[in-house]
């Protein structure tokens, strides 16, 4: 085995590339950041404004899995087809198989340089969303009863809440922070009929009832989950919370 070469699976856009190649990824321990500051007149130093995480590149060295050079050319074409996508897709790297990134191949990749020998060729994946995705989690919530949700990752996750309405006002509250999202007959523009399906997407800050957009009360605040969050839903006969773990 070549020293430093991982033989585990690399999966991109649902395709197991490890059936064709061995690889060695190179990436930072955390996403790069951009710091925004401003000078303050008459004072030393700077005033901090904000910090944001940026997208970044993940160069991956690869070697074709082939016993002879005659089969390498065919495998190059097969690999090119698996790498092509016109939008970011899930990238699972071999040194962290339980999480994935949304990435897309960026820049020039000379597939003609890919062989079954060292040195290999480098494929550059650009990660647009700097926060990794982990396991999909879900749990049921009983109306009028507190429920502790464990996000599981190291970065805030934004759940999707699906409820079967009981009729009347619907409300979901983060008990610990007092943040809540509420929908009533006034904000919806019609009565909230029992049996209707309400979907509250905390990431897009959008609520629908039977597929129709529903407004929320003016004090509503779409919230995320990090660590343990205790929530309570009212006005529903059945509720499911579903989210993806997020990881720095």
Quick one: pLDDT at residue 40? 82
| Domain 11-130 annotated CATH 2.40.30.200 | yes
Distance CA 50, CA 38 (A): 10
- Residue closest to 169 by CA, chosen among 152, 150, 146, 186: 186
Q: Is the pTM of this model over 0.75?
A: yes
pLDDT tens, per residue, the chain with 248 residues: 334 444 468 899 999 988 888 888 888 888 889 989 888 877 888 888 899 999 999 998 888 776 666 677 778 788 889 999 999 999 999 888 899 999 999 876 655 556 555 556 788 999 999 999 999 999 999 999 999 999 889 999 999 999 999 988 999 999 999 999 999 988 888 888 999 999 999 999 999 999 999 999 999 999 999 999 999 999 999 999 999 999 99
Quick one: pLDDT at residue 246? 95
CB 88 within 8 A of CB 99: no
β pairing state of 15-16 and 11-12: antiparallel
Domain boundaries in the chain?
11-130, 135-247
Domain at 135-247: CATH code: 2.60.120.860
Distance CA 202, CA 104 (A): 26
**CA 235 vs CA 134, 164, 225: distances in Å:** 31, 9, 21
Quick one: pLDDT at residue 32? 85
**Same topology between domain 11-130 and domain 135-247:** no
Quick one: pLDDT at residue 191? 83
């Amino acid at each position: 085995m070549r020293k430093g070469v991982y033989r585990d699976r690399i999966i991109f856009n649902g395709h197991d590339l490890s059936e064709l190649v061995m690889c060695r990824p190179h990436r930072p321990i955390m996403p790069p950041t951009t710091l925004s500051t401003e000078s303050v007149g008459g004072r030393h130093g700077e005033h901090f404004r904000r910090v944001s995480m940026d997208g970044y590149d993940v160069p991956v060295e690869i070697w074709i899995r082939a016993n002879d050079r005659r089969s390498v050319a065919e495998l190059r074409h097969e690999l090119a087809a698996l790498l092509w996508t016109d939008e970011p897709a899930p990238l699972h790297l071999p040194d962290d198989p339980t999480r994935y990134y949304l990435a897309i191949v960026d820049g020039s990749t000379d597939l003609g340089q890919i062989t079954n020998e060292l040195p290999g060729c480098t494929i550059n994946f650009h990660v647009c969303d700097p926060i990794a995705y982990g396991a999909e989690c879900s749990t049921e919530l009983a109306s009028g009863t507190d429920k502790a949700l464990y996000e599981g990752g190291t970065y805030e996750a934004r759940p999707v809440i699906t409820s079967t309405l009981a009729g009347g006002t619907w409300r979901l509250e983060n008990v610990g922070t007092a943040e809540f999202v509420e929908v009533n007959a006034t904000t919806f523009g019609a009565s909230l009929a029992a049996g209707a399906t309400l979907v509250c997407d905390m990431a897009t800050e959008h609520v629908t009832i039977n597929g129709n957009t529903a407004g929320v009360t003016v004090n509503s605040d779409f919230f995320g989950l990090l660590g343990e969050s205790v929530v309570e839903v009212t006005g529903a006969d059945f509720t499911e919370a579903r989210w993806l773990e997020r990881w720095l």
